[in-house]
Structure 1
Amino acid sequence: MAKDLVQLQQIKVKKCRRIEEIIRDDKSTPKKIIFPQLKTITIKSCSVMTCFYLGTFALECPNLKEVKLVSCAKMVAFASTVSNQPQVVNIGDGYSEILAKDTSNVSAKPFFSDKVSLPLLKELTVEDMGNMERIWDDQLEINSFSKLKHLEVHSCVKLSSIFPLNVQGRLQRLKNLQIVECASLEEIFEPEITEAEINIKFVFPQVTYLNLYKLPKLKSFYSGVHTTEWPLLKKMDVYRCDKLEIFASEYSSSHETQGLHLLFWINKGTFPCLEELRLECNATMKEIWHGQLPEGYFKLKVLELINFPALTVLPSYFFRSLSDLENFCC
């Protein structure tokens, strides 16, 4: 049937409590499933749905711009080869036995695999997806997600990280990154196990807004040695991240930062355009800044500190770096 829907532009499925998948392979299925005109997919509150597409072939949506997935507690993959349907087995003498599918290991698989091609996807929202443990595969279709501009991950309680390390090169067009209420999240980028410790440079050339909210286990951006650059970032909000210290200079001594859970290591190129910064204090935080800071480094116009016990958390040289500050709330 999918091969006949060449003009289909929108799929929207809401509160369908018996649907397990939208598309399933059948005998007439070609070796590739293509929706040439599909632009948006919205799936919301489908309590037994396990995947969008169930089958063994590649799924291509060459013009898909937006995907929104909300409150589908059993959904473990966008495209899956595993069915929840019971298997009927002939055991002889005219009798058959129904065997339940073992799907206990399905949730360990990435939600988007290398069999999915989404080369023009610009907006991705995943919210309240209780079985999602990994969003992306280590190996993706060559052009998938390279146009992504908006990513919002909300209330995905099993995620321990957002990105595998090799996805970073696909985020060059990302403008808006929001990660909210992910109770198990420990890092933004998952660690890569290597024998040699390599200093990795993360560059987000288009991101203008970063929001990290209610991430009680978040410890770091990336646990390995790294630097980050956000040349166009203008607004950053960090609320209720209970284990985090926020900033440290790349020139900070190991004695100063030992045992700290630092979100960002700062150098001259990290936040050259940051104008609005909102931070909420936590029980772990003794300072929001560790190490020296050049005068005039930040271009902040708005600084809002929430639940900070005293201004002693801010060294004097931090304020000397805020020559453009217009609005300060504490």
Structure 2
Amino acid sequence: MPKTKHTTMGFAVFHAEKMSASGAGLGNHIDRKEGHEHTFQNADAGRRHLNQAFAVTGHCAKPLHTAITDRIAEGYTGITAIRKDAVRALSLVFTGTHEDMKAIEADPERMKQWLKANHQFVAQEFGKENVVRLVLHLDEKTPHLHAVVVPLREGKLTAKTILGNKKDMSQRQDRYAQAMAPFGLSRGVRGSKAIHNAEGWYLGQQQQAQEAVLCDLPRLTALDRLNPAQYEQQVQKRFKSATKEKTDAAIELRRREQQLQAQERQITRLQQELKAVKSRLSILQETVTMFVKSLLGRPVSEEEKKVMDVYANSYKKAEERKLGEKQEERPKKGRGIGL
């Protein structure tokens, strides 16, 4: 598999979200459905032909809400009826740091391998038979892959079991980072909810998710005309959900900005410490050379200089290792519940 040309690794991004609604709104966004352009306002219509949809299962060709319903009907063997508020699907997004994803996109073979690795990850983690959508979007700022899976296991809808607890989700992030390592993408900050690419891309996704909730409003039926109060309650519930999406996005952006500022301050401090270490090392080398020269009563030979350089480099590496360990440490205060 071709390796990345980057000297530093960017971040691998895997985001999972539960879906209890029908999925029609999200389907309009993923499938770029005509007449629902308000759900993908950030997309470039001139690049839409570059998007790719993959027929992982027969359900992938159906409208998303139908695909989810059909997969549940096909695989659910439970005795009790499925609750109306049950999680019927999981929306998954796979991407990475903007610059790295654009570099992958520029190399058709690397993009092919990246897609293959993500496809395998989805199949292994959630079951190939549960995939009802797998679509690559190249018409937005950062290339990303959408997957929608139905959380069926042993005939039961069990999103809670499949996603697991905080430790399980963190380990899944580890496995994803391992799968993405050949593409120059590494594990993000532990305990962080941040998506490590452009904040604008993330906010665009949040805005589209909000609009998806709104466009998924229940249709007014003949029965609703007889009981308008019940229909009004359903509409109000969807609007409250959309408002919450918007508020959560604003809070999350502020949290991420603060986290980024803290990390930038930490990097600046570490760079200053490294500069000071190099300065001390230079002075130390000069001092040792002068001391040896005085002790020997003659100039230091080239062979003796090599020996001193070996010790100096060992000291330098030890100091850089200490700084690297400091850089990996993250402040615990202000963290949200992350993956």
- Shorter-chain TM band: under 0.3
**Bigger strand fraction:** 1
Structure number with larger C-alpha Rg: 2
Higher relative CO (Cα under 8 Å, sequence separation at least 6) belongs to 2
**Bigger helix fraction:** 2
In the superposition, the TM-score normalised over structure 1's length comes to 0.24
In the superposition, the TM-score normalised over structure 2's length comes to 0.23
